[in-house]
Chains A and B, each alone.
Chain A
Amino acid sequence: MINHHPPLELLFDYAAGTLPEPVALAVATHASMCPACRDEISAVEALGGALLETLEPVAMSATSLDAVLARLDEPEATPVTVSAARAASGVASFLPGPLRRYLGEVLPGGWDRLPWRRVTRSLEELRLPMSVQGFKASLMRLAPGSTVPVHTHRGQEFTLVLAGGFSDETGEYLPGDFACKDQTHVHRPVVDTDEPCISLVVLDAPLKLTGMMGRLVNPFINRM
């Protein structure tokens, strides 16, 4: 049961197509795990369709239909994506669909086979390539029972739990749960003790760590 969802405005902006790619990735991945949010997105898309019908049509250029008809048999510039083919073949099926295209040629074998980069003793990270600047999107793997240094945020931080879980002042977060923090939050997540916690973390500005430990770790995490 998913208890923590993206706020409605994020679902709305995702459905309207106005979110930057990294935030859209977090929302799409959550929605792939959450029927309730899929429904919310469908509602907004239906609204988008209804609004489209209310627009006064504007005449197309005279040659436009012929121009498009002439292109119908062109081969597609971007054929069905590799990720779609991979998804169909079941490779990397432990990953929710939206994440697959970002992880290259991942072999089956679960989370351990991903090319993690160690940041601290308890934290490993895997940066995801994004087509937009100013954001950082990563998979983060935190050791069982570890704590994340107390930190606030200069911008917004979106966290989607993929495996394991953590708790903070706002509750318990398990796979599918979505956390949304900004500069008004100071929080101290504690990872559940039985297994590592793997999350998709999207930052729209570098973290600002506040504690003593934070000052030590900051240079490592604070890479945009």
Chain B
Amino acid sequence: MSTAFVIDDLPLFPFRAGAQCRGRRAAVHGTQAGARVDNDRLCDLIEAVAIHQDRKAFSDLFRHFAPRLKAFGLRQGSDAATADELAQEAMLAVWRKAATFDRSRASATTWIFTIVRNKRIDMFRRQNRPEVTLDEAAEQVSDEAPADDQLRWADAGEVLREVLATLPKEQIVVLQKAFYEDKSHSVIAEELNLPLGTVKSRIRLGLARLRQALPEEQL
């Protein structure tokens, strides 16, 4: 894996990267194709915002993510101005919530996805978003080992993208509708003129494929 890659529209930064990252991703998957998004670099930028309120790092994050967040807004049917606004609001939330980012629990893109998802609920549905918590009330109930359950997803972005590329089109269509168009399973079933059970099984199959693709060592 080359260390001197230019990532999309991100300028190359003399970051401390790699060294303190666990470097699992590179070890597990050597298939770096072209100008891939580099998760370590994006994580560094988010942490620079969190620790140093680094506006330069924020601007880099903005240039990388805002156009994707705008595309996300457009996919769910917003007009260009509204999609732009969603992206701006989400990026503002990135600035404010950067300290909650934990690279050992989620990839940069996954974290950004959760930010824009919540902003969408806030802006368009005008509803509260009950968030999963880890706390002592929960501990009383759980006799399973706590905590590490999210680790293996943090580095999974590369694998997920590869598996996505191999999924049948009808599974992708269902997944995209579910994520981008703010629709529940039953609405998707109606729109695609499919039985609800078919939509459910396509999503189940899609997720099962993704799970299978994760290497055992990440478990």
- A112 interface residue (CB < 8 Å to B): no
Q: Are B107 and A49 in contact (CB under 8 A)?
A: yes
Nearest CB in chain A to that of B74: its residue: A58
Q: Which of A21-47 contact B (CB under 8 A)?
A: 21, 24-25, 27-29, 31-36, 38-39, 41-47
- A57 interface residue (CB < 8 Å to B): yes
Complex A-B: 23 CB contacts under 8 Å: A16-B178, A18-B184, A21-B130, A24-B130, A28-B130, A32-B133, A33-B137, A42-B153, A46-B106, A48-B110, A53-B161, A58-B70, A58-B71, A64-B84, A64-B87, A68-B92, A71-B92, A72-B58, A96-B137, A97-B135, A98-B131, A101-B128, A176-B142
Q: Are A52 and B109 in contact (CB under 8 A)?
A: yes
Q: Are B127 and A20 in contact (CB under 8 A)?
A: yes
In whole angstroms, what is the CA distance A2 to B63 when docked?
A: 44
Known: A49-B106, A59-B67, A93-B135. A9 touches B200 (CB 8 A): yes
Residues of A in contact with B, size category: 35 or more
- B101 interface residue (CB < 8 Å to A): no
Chain B's nearest CB lies how many Å from the CB of A173?
12
Query: How many residues on B have C-beta within 8 angstroms of the other chain's C-beta atoms?
Result: 85
List 6 tightest A-B contacts by C-beta distance, closest first: A97-B133, A49-B110, A57-B67, A50-B160, A17-B117, A49-B109
In whole angstroms, what is the CA distance A46 to B59 when docked?
A: 24
Known: A18-B178, A28-B130, A32-B132. A60 touches B137 (CB 8 A): no
Contacts of B121 in A (CB 8 A): 17
Q: Which of B139-161 contact A (CB under 8 A)?
A: 140-147, 149-150, 153, 156-157, 160-161
Residue-wise interface mask of A (83-118) relative to B, using a CB-CB cutoff of 8 A (1 in contact, 0 not) = 000010010011111100100000000000000000
Q: Are A46 and B153 in contact (CB under 8 A)?
A: yes
Interface class of chain B by DSSP:
helix
Chain B's nearest CB lies how many Å from the CB of A2?
7
Q: Are A57 and B68 in contact (CB under 8 A)?
A: yes
Chain B's nearest CB lies how many Å from the CB of A43?
6
Chain B residues in the interface with A (C-beta under 8 A): 37, 55, 58-59, 62-63, 66-72, 74-75, 80-81, 83-84, 87-88, 91-92, 95-96, 105-107, 109-114, 116-118, 120-121, 125-138, 140-147, 149-150, 153, 156-157, 160-161, 164, 175-176, 178-180, 182-185, 200, 203-204, 206-207, 210-211
Chain A's nearest CB lies how many Å from the CB of B114?
6
Q: Are B109 and A50 in contact (CB under 8 A)?
A: yes
Q: Are B127 and A65 in contact (CB under 8 A)?
A: no
Nearest CB in chain A to that of B120: its residue: A17
In whole angstroms, what is the CA distance A24 to B127 when docked?
A: 10
In whole angstroms, what is the CA distance A38 to B132 when docked?
A: 8
Chain B's nearest CB lies how many Å from the CB of A178?
12
In whole angstroms, what is the CA distance A13 to B125 when docked?
A: 14
Name the contact of B137 in the complex, choosing from A54, A65, A72, A93 (C-beta under 8 A). Answer: A93
Chain A residues in the interface with B (C-beta under 8 A): 1-2, 8-9, 12-13, 16-21, 24-25, 27-29, 31-36, 38-39, 41-61, 64-65, 67-69, 71-72, 76, 87, 90, 93-98, 101, 131-132, 175-176
In whole angstroms, what is the CA distance A98 to B96 when docked?
A: 21
Chain B's nearest CB lies how many Å from the CB of A126?
16
Nearest CB in chain A to that of B119: its residue: A17
Q: Are B203 and A8 in contact (CB under 8 A)?
A: yes
Nearest CB in chain A to that of B64: its residue: A57
Q: Are A36 and B144 in contact (CB under 8 A)?
A: yes
Q: Are B55 and A21 in contact (CB under 8 A)?
A: no
Contacts of B184 in A (CB 8 A): 13, 18-19
Name the contact of B59 in the complex, choosing from A52, A55, A65, A76 (C-beta under 8 A). Answer: A65
Q: Are A58 and B67 in contact (CB under 8 A)?
A: yes
Nearest CB in chain B to that of A9: its residue: B185
Contacts of A58 in B (CB 8 A): 67, 70-71, 74, 80, 83
